[in-house]
Amino acid sequence: MEILMSILIGFLFMAAVYLILSRSLLRIIIGTGLLSHGTHLLLLTMGGLGGKAAPVLTEGVTVKDYVDPLPQALILTAIVISFGVTAFSLVLAYRTYKELGTDNMDLMKGTEDND
Amino acid sequence: MINLLLFPVLIPFLFATILLFFPKKVKAQRVITTLGLLTALVSAFALLWKVKTDGVQSLTLGSWAPPFGITMVSDMMSTLLVTSSLLIALFVVWFSFTSIGIKRETSFYYPAILFMLTGVNGAFTTGDIFNMFVFFEVLLMSSYVLIVLGGEKVQLRESIKYILVNVVSSSLFVITVGYLYSIVGTLNMADISIKLAAIGQAGIVTVIAVLFLIVFGIKGAIFPLFFWLPGSYAAPPIPVLTLFGALLTKVGVYAIIRTYTLFFTTDIGFTHELLMIISILTIIAGCIGALAYFDVKKIVIYNIIIAVGVILFGASVMNESGMMGSIFYLIHDILIKGALFLLIGVIIHITGTSDLRKMGGLIKRYPVLGWSYLIAAFGLAGIPPLSGFIGKLLIVQGGLEGELLWQSIFILASSLIVLLSAIRIFIYAFWGEEKGVQQVQPRTYRHLLAPTITLVVITVLYGVGSEYLVPFMTDATTVLLDPSVYTDAVFGGGK
């Protein structure tokens, strides 16, 4: 199971890197979204995928059967943080498009004739 | 007062929250921000005293036993960094009163600064690797706001790049934490240190060490990961630039030093050799940039990169003088970069341009500014009685003790280039015929000059009084070179 997840996460990272390297601003932001998905799945996988019961105290379930609760808490934190950052960067992209009139990263170079 | 070590983190946070309620009342914003920073600074000095007398302070939140809760740890190094970051912020805020403009002040400028300080101080104080990630995000989020606040075209353009680079490096941080967790099964930094020492020289640990170097290297602008810094830092207005230049890269540098002294001490032959090579390359790249530009902002920005290289070189040799030199230089660099950026801010305010070729002859009308710039430039290069000297001396001594002759010569040679780049600003801006000098109101000029001069005086005092600082630096070095002091404090502090 872990192997399968690793391959999937690898594909997510690959797609994210490809998209981040593209010119259009929106594709870059989609890329960062994929990157954070990959990251969160990776956290889940690295915590181990064994365990049968959700980490909620229930009668009749022994300690060994619970999944590791820590990675889930970490992922939850990381998700809201990346939500915040993504929302900010989307608004920033919108504002930039309005102000500069382009979403092409090639036209956003900081050279003297291109200010 | 067991909670004392939280005050430098919590006080800025509390005051920032209060400031959110009345963004349009500029006077109140200014007064409360200053008040908050002063209170935090007092608490930081109290903490400094406490750490000096009682040793490393640690507190596990919520009274959980140490590896299970989030531990906050204040050793001497983090306390010194917390104190100097609050000090710099105070001067930046003072400078902002006259320079930032009313529009930004009414748009949550001061809360953003205080939230950023929360993040910076939290990152310096935390003893939990994931908590460090969270504090990194706190400071990065506020820095996104600060870099784009005002919404000029150049700011929008550069902040996109800045955010993108940091989003990628934050993801990488989480990935690395995930890998580390899968190996040691803990997030507490002291616990990680013990568990990694028990694992010994496993290949995967070295891989994680290099990944951490990449993550923090992007934040701290080392070679070849500094590419985002010159463009992004040139975009925001001067007070924001000062805050960034003095503090943000130093958080990355601190994180590298912390992880490489606490976690990854088993395979020093590889990891620290890599760190050493990279730091030398960082210095070279910074030197090339510092000489290449006629833009005052760019020249000082590349000097940040040089300083990062010098500090990391001192840390990479892992002996007492090198490490102590690094800490001396780290604090010096926070102070002097703050002073230099503020000085340049005054120059840009007077001439209206940041291009050296368009300015000249300022010394006739603004002698105080000129001479204090010269003092700061000498301090930056490390002329003996001033602040940069003792740090670099110790770093070179550490390098020689580690039998790194050529690298040490490189450090010394880089000082010459730093001096040359700083003096070029002096020659172009202050000597020669008067040109580009605008009539600024004497009152505005005085108000800009007051915080700047005070900061320059502090850097001079730091240099002249470095003898009194030696005991503090020795304490910091002891903890860094002997992780057991740190781990003992964490696991003994929970009683």
The interface predicted TM-score (ipTM) is 0.94
**pLDDT beyond 70 at A114:** no
Looking at residue A50, its pLDDT comes to: 80
- Tokens coding B478: 């002891």
Nearest CA in chain B to A28: B164
Residue of B141, B151, B182 with shortest CB distance to A95 = B151
Percent of chain A with pLDDT over 70: 95
Using CA atoms, how far apart are residues A106 and A84, in angstroms rounded to an integer?
Answer: 26
Looking at residue B494, its pLDDT comes to: 43
Write down the domain spans for chain B: 4-493
Looking at residue B468, its pLDDT comes to: 92
Nearest CA in chain B to A39: B175
Residue contact B177–A32, C-beta within 8 A: no
The residue written with tokens 């890269």 in the block is B249
A-chain residues within 8 Å CB-CB of B154? 110, 115
Looking at residue A111, its pLDDT comes to: 60
Residue contact B177–A74, C-beta within 8 A: yes
A-chain residues within 8 Å CB-CB of B164? 20, 28, 32, 89
CB proximity list for B349: less than 8 A, separation 6 or greater: B99, B238, B440, B444, B445, B448
Nearest CA in chain B to A30: B164
Looking at residue A110, its pLDDT comes to: 66
pLDDT tens digits, residue range A50-88?
Answer: 877 888 888 888 878 888 899 999 999 999 999 999 999
Looking at residue B433, its pLDDT comes to: 85
Residue of B157, B160, B171 with shortest CB distance to A39 = B171
Residue contact B134–A71, C-beta within 8 A: no
Kindly state the average pLDDT of the residues A1-9. 93
Indicate the DSSP class of residue A53. Answer: B
Using CA atoms, how far apart are residues B105 and B27, in angstroms rounded to an integer?
Answer: 10
Using CA atoms, how far apart are residues B44 and B38, in angstroms rounded to an integer?
Answer: 10
Looking at residue B420, its pLDDT comes to: 94
**pLDDT beyond 90 at A47:** no
Looking at residue A112, its pLDDT comes to: 54
Residue of A28, A39, A48 with shortest CB distance to B174 = A39
CB proximity list for B40: less than 8 A, separation 6 or greater: B7, B8, B11, B12, B15, B86, B117, B121
Residue contact B178–A25, C-beta within 8 A: no
Looking at residue B2, its pLDDT comes to: 82
What sign results for the dihedral spanned by CA atoms B49, B192, A65, A44?
Answer: positive
Chain B contact residues (CB < 8 Å to A): 130, 133-134, 137, 141, 144, 148, 151, 153-154, 156-160, 163-164, 167-168, 170-171, 174-175, 177-179, 181-182, 187, 231, 234
User: What are the pLDDT tens digits along chain B (495 aa)?
Assistant: 688 999 999 999 999 999 999 999 999 999 999 999 999 999 999 999 999 999 899 999 888 888 899 999 999 999 999 999 999 999 999 999 999 989 999 999 999 999 999 999 999 999 999 999 999 999 999 999 999 999 888 999 999 999 999 999 999 999 999 999 999 999 999 999 999 999 887 889 999 999 999 999 999 999 899 999 999 999 999 999 999 999 999 999 999 999 999 999 888 889 999 999 999 999 999 999 999 999 999 999 999 999 999 999 999 998 999 999 999 999 999 999 999 999 999 999 998 888 888 888 888 889 999 999 999 999 999 998 898 899 999 999 999 999 889 999 999 999 999 999 999 999 999 988 887 777 778 889 999 999 999 999 999 999 999 889 999 999 999 999 999 999 999 987 544
Query: What is the helix, strand, coil percentage profile of chain A, to 5?
Result: 70, 5, 25
- Tokens coding B156: 């929008």
Residue of B148, B159, B181 with shortest CB distance to A47 = B181
Domains of chain A are: 2-50+66-106 (1.10.287.3510)
Looking at residue A62, its pLDDT comes to: 82
On whether the CB atoms of residues A38 and A78 are closer than 8 A, the answer is no
Looking at residue B262, its pLDDT comes to: 93
Residue contact A100–B178, C-beta within 8 A: no
